[in-house]
Each structure stands twice: as C-alpha cells, then as structure tokens.
Structure 1
Amino acid sequence: MKKLKKLHFIILFTIGTSLTSFAQSFGVPTGDKFDTFIINNDRSNNKSEFRMQNRSISFTLSNLSNRMALSYSSIYKGWANNGTEIFSVNTNGSTTMSTAFVGLTIYGSDWAGFSHESMKGTPNYSLLASKSGKLTLINKADTDDGYIGFRVGNIDKMVLSNSGNLGIGTTTPNRKLHVNGNAIITGNTKINGTTNFDDTVTLTKGMNIRGDITSYDTFNVSGTLNFANTDISQQITINKGLNLRLTNIPDSHFSVKNAFGADALYIDTDGKIAIGSVSSESLTEQLNVDGRIKAGGFIADASSFPDYVFANDYQLMSLEAIKAYTTKHHKLPDMPTEKEVINNGLNIKKVMTVSVEKIEELYLHAIAQQELIIQQRKEILALKKSLKDQKESTKIQKENMDGLHKRLEQIEQYIKQK
C-alpha cells in the first residue's frame, strides 16, 4: 500500500509540475470494488493521453474518443499525440497494427496464433505457430464446406478445402491439385500415377513420367518428354488412332533418334520418310532407307504391264539385232546403265517392268525356236523315212543284181558245156 501511494505521488507530481498548457486533472475515485485512475475527469478536453517519456523517445497512450491509440515518437513535441500511431482499438472492437516500422513480431512461450471470433474458447486457430517451428493454417470453421482462401481483389484465387484439395482458379477443387486454367511448368515434373489432361498443358522443360498419361484435349510439349523408367519398357497405347500433324513452319518434322542423337526415323511435312542414316537434305523420294529391307511381299502400282509383248503386232527384236545392240552398248535395250544406277539409284518398278518385258521376249524367241525345232524334226523324220526306203530299194536292186549275175554265170557254164 505504501508503494502504491508513492506511485500516486510521483504521477501527481509529474503531471502537476510539467503540464500547464491544457486543462488537466488526475483523480483517484473511491470505491469498494476497484482502484481506478482517471485522467482528465472533468471532460474539459476531447482526448486523454498518458505518455511515458525517456529523453527524446516517447510512447503515448491516447483516448481519441473514437479509438484508443498507442503512438511512438523519437522527437520531443510537447504534450500532444503527434507521433506515429502504431496500435489502435476502435470503439467497435476492431484492432489495427501499423506497418510503419520494420515489422511485427508476436511471441508465445509455447505457441502464438490468430483466430476468428467463432473459434473463441476452442483450440482451433486460423494461423498458429508452435514452438516446434511448424506454421499451421487452420480452417476458419468446423464445417464440411469451410476452406482456407487466398484472395486477390476480393476474389479467391487459391483455396485449400476441408478435404485437403488445393484449388487454383476454383473454389471447389475435386482433386489434390485442381487447376482451372492454363498451367505452365518450367521445371521438372514427376508424376507417379495416372495423369488426366482435360485441357491444354504446356511443358517448357523436362517431364519425367512413371505412370499413365491420358489426354482428352491438346497436349503441348515445347521441351523434352522423357520416359525415364529404366527397369521396364514403357509404351504408348492408342485406343482409336493417333494423328501426328506437322505445321508448315520451316524444318517441321517428326523424328526418332538413336542413342547417339542421330535420326533413326525422320518424316518431313511432305510426308517423305527417311530410315537410317539419311540426311533431311537428301530426301528425294517418299521413302528413303539406308540399309537392307526384309519384307514378306512387295506390291507396286503400275499404269501398264508388258502384256503387249504377246500382241500380234508387237515388233520383236531379232536375236541378231540384240547381239548387235549389246555389243555396242553393253546392256539390254531399255535397261539403265551401271553409271545411271550408281548416280540415281535403282528404279525397282521400272527395272522389274523392263525385266518382265525381256523375259516375255525370251519366251517368244524360245517359242519361235521350238517351232523351228519341231519343223526341222519333221523334216528329219521325213528324210530318215526316205533314206530307209532308198535302202530297201537298194537292197532289192542288189538282190536282183545278184540274181542276174548268178543266172548269167549259169548260162555261161551251160554254153561252155555245149
């Protein structure tokens, strides 16, 4: 009690000796329930202030009729609240902390938190920092539809729902991450489960995928799409067709590269295909293959075929003429030369057609030779028959001659005996 009276004396002495420009009063009303200190109890001014001054530094607690304010000043300005207001409580209970200084720090020995009035008397706080170092945002209400919202322009731009779903551009996220709008990812993205894209997705860097990708709309990749599972082979499953569309931008193409970065398969905007070590500059045909081809069959379209060789009016080159042509040109008629094949490649379609033509001409020559052989065989048989007949006739003639000689000898002997 003695200490309290000493404090009263110090306060009264300070006020009475240093404040002379305003109507001031300081009272200690009597009462059986409270000890009350009143400044300016005669209501002669519209505000009351209590200032603690330490040389040029002062903190002032002011009753400004519409709010209670705590102000700070580093310059002595007399008995007036003309410092910087750093904390105020309005008559409606709203509280304001100024950001005019370096920052705001709230400490608690175990935790420090902010809460809505609806959470009063509960352990649920909207923002909580514990001594373990964890900073926690807690749902603003214990309801199923409550969420934590991040607002810009008084509109929720990102929300965290009660179910733990994070929504960007939507207040009703139905997945752990729900983005309503375009998304740009400039770093690596790791996805271990099924990925469903219902809208446009643009990747400007790498993307490693170990699960499934299902896209129902445009899937744009401006960087590298890397299937990096080295344990098992990965696959792309197409249920109803796959359309690869190349734009008319210069050098647009589709390619599959080998382990050394060279093109193993290359397709340009004209539909020309290169397989193997074929440069894009040397694409002259629709299919260019650097290597051997193994196929179960080969079908080529043709506007005509050498059936004309068997027409009655076909001018068949004689073997004598062919011999003269090959002696001069060292190739068959209509066939490419060795130099042409080396420089331009072998036109299989043309060579096959010409080869069939030459084979059919060979058949015509063979047929003609066969007909000649048959005719000559007939003539030979006729000659053989004629020769046989001549032999028979000669034999008969010889027998007749032998008979005549024998008869003559008999006649000569008879004459001699006479």
Structure 2
Amino acid sequence: MTPFYRPLALSLAALCLAALPATAQNISGNNLTLSGDITQNGFGPNYFGAGNNIFDGRACIGGACDGTEPFEQGPLRLKWSEPDILFEDSSSTGGISSNDWRLVINDTGITKFAVQDIDGGTIPFTIEGGVRDNALWLDTNGRIGMGTSIPQNSLHIVAADSPGIMLQQTGGTFGNQRWEMIGNETSFVIRDSDSNTLPFSIDDQAPDDALVIAVSGEIGLGTTNPDAPLHVQRADGTAEVLVENTAGPSAARGMFTMRSNGGSFFTMDNTQAKTTWFFTHEQASPNRFIIADAVADGAEMSLTAGGVLTVQGGFAVNSTTLNVPDYVFADDYALRPLSEVAAFIDANRHLPDVPSAAQIAKDGLDMTDMQMRLLQKVEELTLYTLELERDKAAQASEIAALHARLARIEAALAR
C-alpha cells in the first residue's frame, strides 16, 4: 500500500506536547494531566501511546488554523488547502482486506466531496457543490429518495419537470447508445436519445390493463387473461384492429398477411347469434380458398388456384343499380330486325350488346352484367319467336282461305 497524505503543519497544535526541534518528546505516566497552552516548535510527530486517548473539547487541525475558529458545528475542524482524510488500513491478517480509502474535498475547478479508492485508483462516489436539497435520501425503510426526503417507493425520483432515468452504453465492442425513461404530466415514454425517437409511450390516465404481458408471453390489450399471442378486448363496443399506412408515395402495399407451415384460417364468431364463419386456406390438395359456416354440411363456397368457383347454394344479386332488361317488352322498344342481327353477326362474329371473346380476355367478365345481357337476348329471342308465331298463324289463316277458295273453284268446274 502507498500512504497518501500531506504532513499536517502544527498537527494537534492545541493538544500535543511541546517537542524538541528535531525529535519527538514522549511522556508517559499514569493519570497524566496537561493544562494550559502547549506550543510545538518545528515539525515532528507527537506520539500518544495510551490504550485510549480521550480529548474533551474541540480541535482545529491544519496549517490554516489561527485560533479564531468558532467551532459552532462539531468538535473537529480540518482547515487546509483542499483538506482530505486518509484511511490507511494496516491489516495483515489473511482474508481481511487492507485497501486504503480517502475522503477528498474539492479539486481543480470542481467543488465536490468525494470518496477515493486509493488502491483501486477510482473515485466511486462524488457530490458536487451546490446540489439541491434532498438530492439523495435514504430513509429508515431502505427506500431511496432523489429530490425528496419522503420516498414512497424503493426508488422515488422528484423533479420540477420530466424526471427520468438514462441508461448509456459507452465504447467497447458494441458501440455507444443512450436510452431514457421519462415521466411527466402527459405521458411515460422510453426515448432513444441518440436517434431522438419515442418508440414507446403511455399517455396519462391510460385505462387499466391497456397492455398486459402474461406469464405465457401472450399479450393482452384490455384484458389480463389473453387467450392468444395477441388478444384485444373491449367492453364498450370499440374493439378494433386498424392497419394504416400514412406516408410515402401512393402504391399498392401488403397490409395484412397470414403465413403458416400448412393451411390457415380466420374465424368470425357472432357470440349473440351463435353463428360462426370460417375463411380457410385449405391444407389438403387442391389447397382451395374456402368459406364455410360451423354446420358440417360442406363448404358454402370454394375457389381453386385455377379459378374454379363452386357455390353450394344459389347465386343472387340484389343491387339497386341492377338494370333488369324488362324494358325489352316495352311498346317503344326498338327490336332489331333479324336481317340487321344477321349482318352484325357476319361482320363481328358475336351478338350485338354482348362483349366479344377478345374484350372479355382484355377486361375480364362481369358476371352480373353478362347475366343481364343474356337475359336481354333471351327476351329479344322470345319477341322474335312470338313474332314468328304471329306470322305463322297469319300464314295458316291465309292458306286456309286459299284452300277454301280452291275448293269452291274445283266444285264449280265439276258441274
């Protein structure tokens, strides 16, 4: 160990014995009483070899002591340029540390009180001058207050604006990074100080159980008992999941993805009506997309990767914009003559008002529109058929009249 201390001028000036200029003076004896002023001439140690030395009074130690000290605060005063106290441990018993410590007062340009580890070469504890009241408080329950003398928890931090805790990583293999936990009248946040972002925030007066992580690792939003890796629950009718992109150029983006090593499905469950619908990506070949209810009667609808759509029931359209072609039967409907229809077919190779194969390949097929167009053609065909039936009846009437006239002629010729 290396002792670290300054010689103390006029050491124990008020209490030591007068000594010779070059040597110490040892006084021994039982019940020795000294009184009056004791003056030491020159430097040198004073040795008190009694088992216990008791000083009844006050003392000033240090070259700056001048006898005018009021001693209004305690019996011992150290008066020196940058005064300090050295604790030099001379222990030599095995297993007992002999580390030396020093209480340090002030330093170049710094007003402080510090504890120095002499052997370790560190200063683990420092208090700067001008620190506010109750900067650090340890109460009888072991609770720590910072800015308060009445800590209400294991660590209680009080500040006029946005008290916080900073965690800083410096140097080394992993580089530098700073994180802050801050609380104020609006929110509690975790701040990335280096990038100046707030990746985590809780607003003031957030409701109970706004975010719960269960022992299973499942996350509950509004529930303390999540039944899934992410469980959102509300009791006021506002439970909802919203995925929204608000930045960047306008473009198509993947907003919702379900990925599984096999089939997958999501469920829509009406707990009041007791009805359930499943939207399923089939596990077995042909891996169809299926819509089915909870009744075991097969899929209500399925779609293969090849585009084959199968519907178990009927197909109905009930749209207010649906143009059902009953107008074909109106008196003012302009039914094309069959000759005009024949000419159109010869020129275009498809029916009038019906999209061609090339147009369907280019624009796709609107099943509802096609159904209405086909119904229009059926109704027009019905009109053509009725017109032919009228023509046939008229021809039959004319033929009957001709037969009757011919019969009369033949009867006249026979006479």
User: TM class, shorter-chain normalised?
Assistant: 0.3 to 0.5
With normalisation by structure 2, the TM-score equals 0.42
Larger radius of gyration between Structure 1 and Structure 2? 1
Higher helix residue share:
1
